[in-house]
Amino acid sequence: MQTKFIFVTGGVMSGLGKGVTTSSIAKLLQLADQKVSCIKIDPYLNYDAGTMNPVAHGEIFVTEDGGECDMDIGNYERFLNQNIPKSHNITTAQVYSSVIDAERKGEYLGACVQIIPHVTDEIKNRIRKIAEDEKLDFLIVECGGTVGDIESLPFLEALRQLRVEEGPQGVIFVHVTLAPSLDVVGEQKTKPTQHSVQELRRIGIQPDFLAVRCTLPLEEKTKKKIAMFTNVTPNNVLSCHDANSIFEVPQMLYDQGIMDSIFTKFGKVGMVNASANWDKWNEIAQNMVNHEDQKVKIAMIGKYVTLADSYVSVNHALKHAGAKIGKSIDIDWIDSESISDYNILSKYDGILVPGGFGTRGSEGIINTANFAREKDIPYLGICFGFQLAAIAFGRNVMNLEDANSTEIKADTKNPIVDLLPEQKDISDMGGSLRLGANEVKIKENTNAYKIYNTNSIHKRHRHRYEINKKYIPEFEKNGLIFSANSDGGKRMEILEITSHKFYLGVQFHPEFNSRPGYPEEAFTAFVKAASEK
Ligand code: GLN
């Protein structure tokens, strides 16, 4: 069976929700019992997202197979409740590296190597390989950037060629645009959409669908006007108006007949039979927005707090956990450098410290972890938040005043957290952390065991430093125990203070495994403890 392709492009400006449109279309197809997956194309020159500052670009999403990916991959995983491999995040750097490697090996047999056909062929090969290897019914490919950018041109050209090669029944183009209104009751403006589609047509792509972002539902007359100017049938001009939650978008698109149109276009009429799956999904989606009166207040302390997207999976994981126990979550992001009086943290039901790197802001986090311990406020520390909680305990309970991580102070006398031994000779920063899913073994009769109800879990990692085993006996003597480890006991994975209401640190990133309706266990336990504070 041939895979059908849906390509999602973006117009007018960034931030219109291409990722949500892509995920929603994929979800609808999955609900119709189709085997689907998504690809994100990022036309930048970083090999992957791993070296990028999260404040500028948003969270780095880690896949099971250790990819450091664009955060849209996280959106796909959460919508589809399905793991996405790292090969599904294609960048300009990956494509050009492969082409240049092949040229150096002499594989082009004397040809002059060019963007067309060599770069575009490499892009098409990568997309087709995923479709074939995974035997997909549908593959939805989201092209990052905005049409008109120089960077994305080779990718759009490759997608254009794919449509020619696959034939009109093999490919659909969806273009995401904006219909702004100058005030709430004002007219919905169509010109930005018209211009954006003109730009797309200039490079040979006629969209089949337009997903038009707007505040209020797109009016019938606006749809007709857009349709007339863009050559898209009015039925396929879809209103993507503001919703309470991104999980309502699949239903919104479904109600406008997108599934009939997609199946008709692909010659698969009569395939919309999704009622049983819909019930479960709708229950999950509804449950995510239903608990506004019951709030749990969480303080999230880190240094990348100026952009909510820096910790997007953590935010989602908290909400999934809240939905599970019937609460909504209020998150305040607090800059660890800005806290002068830690008593402001007393008003929160729980304190969460997510992952992080480097010296800046670390003292504020160490003090936060200590404050949570002393005041018995539920605490969840993830990766950096796990390491710094151990340092706080070292300094304040074990009386090792200069306890630190060698990441923060290279010559500290008490390196409670130190470089992973295999990292000592690494000089390249890209792709060289301990990455991806590994088995974590949990000891019985611990809180961790109660939380996970098993002694073996698989969790995703992204770190270069770890707990120095030399200090473990001293920790355990003082009441902080390491309740899980990995690699045959070599690395510490979970810490807990049993006498505390809830004090848990995890070296791995539980947020990447949390899905709507299926929250990650440590988050559920943390939110539950916070709600009982
Ligand atoms: N900076 C720490 C390390 O490299 C923690 C990393 C993280 O929080 N993702 O080990």
Please confirm whether the linkage preceding 117 is cis (ω < 30° from 0): yes
pTM for this structure?
A: 0.94
* Cβ-contact 140, 22 below 8 angstroms: yes
Pocket test for ligand 1, best of 51, 314, 357, 362 (most atoms within 8 A of CB): 357
| pLDDT tens, residue by residue, 469-494 | 999 999 999 999 999 999 999 999 99
- For each of the domains in the chain, give its residue range(s) and CATH number, in order of start: 4-91+128-286 (3.40.50.300), 291-531 (3.40.50.880)
- Our CA dihedral for 390, 393, 399, 405, rounded to 10 degrees, sits at 30
For residue 79 and ligand 1, the question of a CB distance below 6 A is answered with no
For residue 463 and ligand 1, the question of a CB distance below 6 A is answered with yes
* Cβ-contact 210, 175 below 8 angstroms: yes
Q: CB-hemisphere CA count at 13 Å for 360?
A: 5
- For residue 26, give both structure tokens: 């994929």
| pLDDT tens, residue by residue, 54-103 | 777 889 999 999 999 999 999 999 999 999 999 999 999 999 999 999 99
Tens of pLDDT along the chain (533 residues) come to 689 999 999 988 888 889 999 999 999 999 988 999 999 999 999 998 988 887 778 899 999 999 999 999 999 999 999 999 999 999 999 999 999 999 999 999 989 999 999 999 999 999 999 999 999 999 999 999 999 999 999 999 999 999 999 998 899 999 999 999 987 668 899 999 999 999 999 999 999 999 999 999 999 999 999 999 999 999 999 999 999 888 899 999 999 999 989 988 888 765 655 555 777 888 888 888 777 778 999 999 988 776 678 899 999 999 999 999 999 999 999 999 988 899 999 999 999 999 999 998 899 999 999 999 999 999 999 999 999 999 999 999 999 999 999 999 999 999 999 998 887 887 777 778 899 999 999 999 999 999 999 999 999 999 999 999 999 999 999 999 999 999 999 999 999 999 999 999 999 999 999 999 999 999 999 999 999 97
Pairing of strands 480-486, 465-467: unpaired
- For residue 439, give both structure tokens: 């088995």
In sequence order, the β-bridge partners of residue 142 are 8, 40
Buried b (16+ CB within 10 A) or exposed e, 485-522: bbeeeebbbbbbbeebbbbbbbbbbbbbbbbbbebbbb
Q: Whose CA is nearest to atom 8 of ligand 1?
A: 355
For residue 512 and ligand 1, the question of a CB distance below 6 A is answered with no
Q: Which atom of ligand 1 is nearest to the CA of 382?
A: 8
For residue 384 and ligand 1, the question of a CB distance below 6 A is answered with yes
Tokens 């899980």 map to which residue? 484
Q: Identify which of 15, 5, 44, 8 has the alpha carbon closest to the alpha carbon of residue 149.
A: 44
Q: Indicate left, alpha or beta for 135 from its phi (over 0: left) and psi (-120 to 50: alpha).
A: left
Active-site residue list = 383, 509, 511
For residue 508 and ligand 1, the question of a CB distance below 6 A is answered with no
Q: What is the pLDDT of residue 258?
A: 93
